[in-house]
Amino acid sequence: MKLKEVMKNVPDIKIVGPDNVEVKDIRYDSRRVNPGDMFAAIPGENYDGAKFIEQAMTKGARSFLTSREVPAIEGYTVVQARRVRLALALAARNFHESPSEKLKVIGITGTNGKTTTSYLLHGILDEAGVRAGLIGTVQYLVGGEVLSAARTTPESPDLNSLMAGMLSSGSQACILEVSSHAVALDRIAGMRMEVGVFTNLTMDHLDFHQDMEDYYRAKARLFLEEDTVHSAVNLDDPYGKRLIEEIGGPVLTFGLKEGDVRPTGDITTGEWGSRFTLQTPWGVLDVDTSLPGLFNVSNVMAAVCAAGLLDVATYHISEGLRKVRRVPGRFERVEKGQLFTAIVDYAHTPDALENLLENAGKLTPGRTIVVFGCGGDRDRNKRPLMGEVAGRLADLVIVTSDNPRSEEPDAIIDDIMDGLRDKNRLVQRVTDRREAIALAVGEAKQGDIVVVAGKGHENYQITGKKVLPFSDVEELANAIVHSLESVL
């Protein structure tokens, strides 16, 4: 595609050099540049992409996108943009011929519940015969191929490329988890969303956002500034109520007590899952799901709203929900023949941990044992808050390392312990996460529930600059097996 077509209708740019140069692909990582590519020099928090322009030249890039004033370079074309990330997103859209306009894109945003909602919706669409791709925290599903997820919402060139791949493989829809980073950094700029879903907003990512208001405004942009046709919003969430008012037009609402989609009658929930009936604009819907807890009732309703807005029949919605047996790292049970319940969950915010432990405590008659930590180089303010939640809702708290990154693991644990100082609960600190999980298993008795929280589906642990293999699910399973073998 010619550069002038790639940059068509992109605002606030100046092209220095010939605009008919051929663009083979768009790259933002100079290491991935091939001859004929356009290299986008993105200014980042830890690096400036402009420093890699020369490297991209040596690898064959013929055109460049940058915010810097660059003099004319013979044989090359430079596109100067006031907002490089916005220009990159619109250029990627043009290069891949606007895939979001040919797919039914469902954008799901919120602090908690995005992944579970996306998997539930994927199951519903599959049951309805709608082939859908999925882009989210756990993995990317493109035309039957499973790809590892580098981040919840990819950079705009990758995102548009994945969607184009979905189209070429026959997909009709794309389920997209939309992070606040993705909105703030213009990764989804220029995309059309058939449906936008807002799950909730609680304290998180305040290492990136200035405050909760800034965090909310990033989430709200999906519904207020981007090209979103239909909106579904959680009426139980205070920020959801505010968002409904700001949207000002038709919004499909859901909630545990009120909303267009809401439960009627009792909600029965246990280790095995949940059963309840939903009142919807499309009729009464009986739900039988393997996912327990009231927070998953909200996730179910979010998925039901999205499916309804896509005109999926209630029969397919009900059957699709029933067939989704698990969501990786989201209240995922680990069964190895033990007499207690073992759960792995991604909960890594105070609100998510509170919902997790409140629901876990209702599932079994015994004690609640929780293993958790907090990530390094992230919002420190939530650490004592999570400690307070664990101390209030668990009978035995084992504080350990999560992904410490560049921080000292014990310093992170110290911050968490500040929220546990005045608690009368049993508290232990075990820096090694493997040992902490083994301790929890060793302490568990019949009827107890062991909850390992924070990392969920992740199969790694980031310590310093090292990314080491580590899976909570595997470690919990191994600890249980070892415990059972030691009894024999």
Centroid of chain to Cα 389? 22
Among the candidates 323, 352, 377, a domain finishes at: 323
**Is 461 found in the same domain as 434?**
yes
Q: Tell me the DSSP string of 111-127.
A: SSSHHHHHHHHHHHHHH
Same domain, 119 and 44: no
Task: Find the distance separating the first CA and the last CA of the chain, reported in whole Å.
Answer: 67
Domain ends where: 323, 342, 366?
323
Q: Which helix (H) or strand (E) holds 296?
A: helix 294-309
Pair 339, 256 in one domain = no
pLDDT of residue 27: 97
Structural domain count of the chain = 3
Domain identity same for 190 and 271: yes
Q: Give 15's contacts (C-beta < 8 A, 6+ positions apart).
A: 3, 4, 7, 77, 78, 79, 80
* Residues 373 and 246 both lie in one domain: no
Query: Of the candidates 251, 276, 275, 273, which has an alpha carbon nearest to the alpha carbon of residue 265?
Result: 276
User: Do 91 and 107 fall into the same domain?
Assistant: no
Residues 269 and 124 in one domain: yes
Q: How far apart are CA 230 and CA 108, in angstroms?
A: 12
- Residue 252, classed as helix, strand or coil, is strand
pLDDT at 47: 73
Domain limit, last residue, from 80, 95, 110: 95
Which domain covers residue 391, as residue numbers? Answer: 332-487
**208-222 b/e with 16+ CB inside 10 Å = b?**
bbeeeeebbbbbbbb
CATH number of the domain at 146, please. 3.40.1190.10
Q: Are 221 and 107 spatial neighbours (Cβ–Cβ below 8 Å)?
A: no
Same domain, 148 and 236: yes
CATH code for the domain in which residue 472 is found: 3.90.190.20
Residue 81 is part of a domain; what is its CATH number?
3.40.1390.10
Question: Do 384 and 308 fall within a single domain?
Answer: no
One digit per residue, the tens of pLDDT, for the chain of length 488 reads: 999 999 999 999 999 999 999 999 999 999 999 999 999 999 876 778 888 999 999 999 999 999 988 777 888 999 999 999 999 999 999 999 999 999 999 999 999 999 999 999 999 999 999 999 999 999 999 998 999 998 899 999 999 999 999 999 999 999 999 999 999 999 999 999 999 999 999 988 888 888 999 999 999 999 999 899 999 999 999 999 999 999 999 999 999 999 999 999 999 998 889 999 999 999 999 999 999 999 999 999 999 999 999 999 999 999 999 999 999 999 999 999 999 999 999 999 999 999 999 999 999 999 999 999 999 999 999 999 999 999 999 999 999 999 999 999 999 999 999 999 876 679 999 999 999 999 999 999 999 999 999 999 999 999 999 999 999 999 999 999 999 998 76
Co-location of 255 and 365 in the same domain: no
Say whether both 68 and 130 belong to one domain.
no
Distances (CA, A) of 414 to 267, 407, 410, 440: 39, 12, 6, 20
Mark whether 298 and 343 lie in a shared domain.
Answer: no
For residue 41, the Cα-to-chain-centroid distance in whole angstroms is 26
CA-to-CA separations, 373 to 114, 217, 430, in angstroms, rounded: 21, 28, 10
